[in-house]
Amino acid sequence: MFETKNEFKYKFEEKMNALTGKSFEEATNADAYRVLGTMVKEYANKKWAETNKQYRQNKVKQAYYFSIEFLIGRLLNNNLLNMGLLKACDEALQELGFDLGELEKEEPEAGLGNGGLGRLAACFLDSLASLELPGHGCGIRYKYGLFKQKIIDGHQVELPDYWLSDGYIWEIRRPEKAVDVRFGGYVEAVKTEDGDLEFKHRDYDVVKAVPYDVPIIGYNSKNVNTLRLWSAEISEDMSEKYIQSEQDRSNFLEYKRSVESISEFLYPEDYNYQGRLLRLKQQYFLCSSGLQSIFRTFDKYNLPYNDFPIKVALHINDTHPSLLIPELMRILMDEKGMGWDEAWLITQNTISYTNHTLMPEALETWPVDMMKKLLPRIYMIIDEINERFCQQLWDIYPGDREKISSMAIIADDRVRMANLAIVGGHSVNGVARVHTKIIKEEQMNDFYEVFPEKFNNKTNGITHRRWLMKCNPSLSELITETIGHEWKENPEQMENIIKFKADKDFQDEVYKIKQENKKQLAEYIFDQTGIKVSTESIFDVHAKRLHGYKRQLMNILHIMHLYNKVKNGEDIDLVPRTFIFSAKAAAGYYFAKRVIKLINSVARTVNNDSDINDLIKVVFLEDYSVSLAERIIPAADVSEQISTASKEASGTGNMKFMMNGALTLGTMDGANIEIHELVGDNNIFIFGMSAVEVQNYYNHGGYSARSLYNNDPRLKRVLDQLVEPGLFTNSPDEFSHIFQTLLNQNDEYFVLKDFDSYVNAHQKINQGYKDRNEWTEKCIINIAHSGNFSSDGTIKKYADEIWNIKPITW
């Protein structure tokens, strides 16, 4: 984009005049952001065109990663980093009177994702481009993100996240590439002259899907891949239909509203029929529009459709895009003229599926009547897939109706999307070794016995470029000064800093960087909340989506326990501790929202109690996002990864904190197990039941939460405080739902069962932190091994073992 700082300044001034007509002295940060973003995008567009030309000319096999969310964060500084221009631009802008950090704040956080699923998808796109692999993302361009979270009187309040209000500089609208997506109507079987049946979709509504493309720039790479986001718009043909009569005209606004709603909200509420119907619409809209676009690209290759799996890989990121399977069958049969067997072979060889969790909300099912009405042709195809699969099962398990029913794609008037994804593809992968083991041996064991060759593990990963090089540049520079720059493109080489784990000078530098990051976060906390925290305290962080199984509740109950001990005057020799929470609860998830209120109520009491003397501080930072995570993670001393064993498929927050020198406090769940194997017993704090023990309780019973409550005075006291007015609440009803969930519903996520072990682990942290050199050595060991969790390594395995795509040759 430029060779020298002076060249950059000249081009920046030239572009400033062209876009705004302002001088540097007159320009605002918003003006400067717009100018710099435009310069970067113009540069990216040239590389983008060159990349796409290479793909077409060489008829390269390309992978398409379908996901209902992509949590890409802000892109300006990430793009500059990947282009190798971040430091130079920062210096040049300072000389011009601008702060690059302030310019980045002008960029809206794209409201395209919510949690780990979306962030993982974004990391994968970054790795694909950086490894020069031909892979793209397919998603929905939501008008509104999940929501903006405000904490008012301790309660979560959801406000609209209209992130597109001022436009989005990185996207390019492609109206010429729009496609039509059909909903409703009916299917007519028509006999051809040859005696074959053709299926004609009649009287359907059409939604126009318009793509918006976002360039994905690789690190030190010529590749620029694409994140294609689809927006739902009204069809001109449908507009004409609705003005034919007065009655039709009266329905036009209803049609218009139904179309716009498809790409309006990420995760619309699904507690009623209309909300669930909208989610199903969104999922088919994504699958149909993306797949039609992919066929346009494939058709340019002028190859037979039997070669489709040779040139295209389609990946289902959790069950949401599972309708890719029947949609691919529909296109191959109804539009390309193929027979069932031929189309099915192509479909199975093209599709692969990642299962991200075994929580019920991820294993989606849809009412048969809903799918029949909304997607009549798609339902017919799913029904036929189910019939043929059940016949296959009957041949394997003759007479075993119970097993066949449990494995069927359609049963009990529901369409089971996970079953469809397993049957319709060639690969099913879990995202951590323990997760994959549970899939194969328990939750999906019936399928594993029939299709053992499909099942494999691909442990999740994170992009070290954003989660170390960008968000913690001082630590990144120290690593480079110590072991050279090769680790930036080969992150597993970070292990070379192990040899410096006991080096006093290196330890001092790591400690100084951590303290500076803590200072910056402390300043942010004070600015946002008015709470003063000490950088000499342990920054104990629990930042992730709020859910029962992630057990933020156990964390706050432990804080209440510590508070009680200090108030009782017990000599607990406590190192000052700052407990930092940041999390959003789904708008309709009452229990999770009660936990947020409890955290803030405890914070109010603890932070204003002079008897505590700053030994304990509790902070809740509202509106957790990628940019907030980039502030929090480099400053963390302790990373709370305390999910109920067997519930967290992998986790990626554990990897991000580890990479920035935080020590993990966690259960033997998800990727915590693999972190533990790498760093060893002495460099991680493990507690709680194993996945086997948890599953044993679920399968055979024998757990009594009330017995623990009656026999452990610590638990009895903190639980009673939930419903006793005075200390943490003014009303016995305020937290009674939490109390009842733990005792009357027998503590589904074993908060009380693991509490004692959790308390003991915290005591070990308290003792360990007192020896600064030993603690810093543990941090260095964790940093060194974190390169093993780079998404580059994960994506290489997807590329080699599932998608069969190769790096582009320039």
- What CA–CA distance (Å, rounded) separates 325 from 620? 43
Residue 550 known to be catalytic: yes
Among 148, 377, 544, 547, the active-site one is: 544
Tokens read off for 268: 């619309």
DSSP string over 33-45 = HHHHHHHHHHHHH
H-helix or E-strand containing 411?
strand 410-411
Task: Categorise residue 747: left if φ over 0, alpha if ψ from -120 to 50, beta otherwise.
Answer: left
Task: Give, as one character, the DSSP assignment of residue 62.
Answer: E
Among residues 770, 750, 757, 654, which one has the least CA distance to residue 697? Answer: 750
Among 74, 320, 550, 584, the active-site one is: 550
Q: Tell me the β-bridge partners of 641.
A: 666
- What CA–CA distance (Å, rounded) separates 737 from 758? 23
Tokens read off for 301: 């290759």
Among 281, 377, 594, 656, the active-site one is: 656
- What CA–CA distance (Å, rounded) separates 189 from 690? 55
Residue 136 known to be catalytic: no
Residue 155 known to be catalytic: no
H-helix or E-strand containing 88?
helix 86-95
- What CA–CA distance (Å, rounded) separates 469 from 472? 6
**Residues contacting 35, CB < 8 A, separation 6+:** 12, 15, 16, 19, 20, 27
Among 652, 664, 667, 776, the active-site one is: 652
Q: What is the dihedral of CA 364, 65, 278, 151, to 10 degrees?
A: 90
Residue 809 known to be catalytic: no
DSSP string over 148-214 = EEEEETTEEEEE---TTTT--TT-EE-GGG-EEEEES-EEEEEE-TTS-EEEEEES-EEEEEEEEEE
Specify the amino acid at residue 552. Answer: Q
Kindly report the number of other CB atoms within 10 A of residue 777's CB atom. Answer: 20
Q: Are strands 155-159 and 410-411 parallel, antiparallel or unpaired?
A: unpaired
Among residues 685, 662, 659, 660, which one has the least CA distance to residue 672? Answer: 685
The SS3 of residue 466 is helix
Among residues 65, 55, 140, 59, which one has the least CA distance to residue 352? Answer: 65
- What CA–CA distance (Å, rounded) separates 161 from 200? 41
Among 488, 545, 577, 594, the active-site one is: 545
Q: Are strands 205-217 and 224-234 parallel, antiparallel or unpaired?
A: antiparallel
Residue 544 known to be catalytic: yes
- What CA–CA distance (Å, rounded) separates 78 from 485? 18
Kindly report the number of other CB atoms within 10 A of residue 235's CB atom. Answer: 20
Interhelix angle 86-95/5-20, nearest 10 degrees? 70
- What CA–CA distance (Å, rounded) separates 643 from 115? 15
Residue 717 known to be catalytic: no
In angstroms and rounded to an integer, the radius of gyration of the C-alpha atoms of the chain is: 27
CA distances from 745 to 512, 546, 647, 705 (A): 47, 19, 18, 9
| CA geometry: angle 432, 433, 436, nearest 5 deg | 85
H-helix or E-strand containing 756?
helix 755-768
Q: Is 661 exposed, middle or buried (0-12, 13-18, 19+ CB in 10 A)?
A: buried
Q: Is 153 exposed, middle or buried (0-12, 13-18, 19+ CB in 10 A)?
A: exposed
Among 356, 551, 597, 778, the active-site one is: 356
- Burial readout 100-120 (b: 16 or more C-beta within 10 A, e: otherwise): beebbebbbbbbbbbbbbbbb
H-helix or E-strand containing 124?
helix 116-130
Tokens read off for 461: 């990963």
Catalytic residues, which ones? 356, 544-545, 550, 652, 656
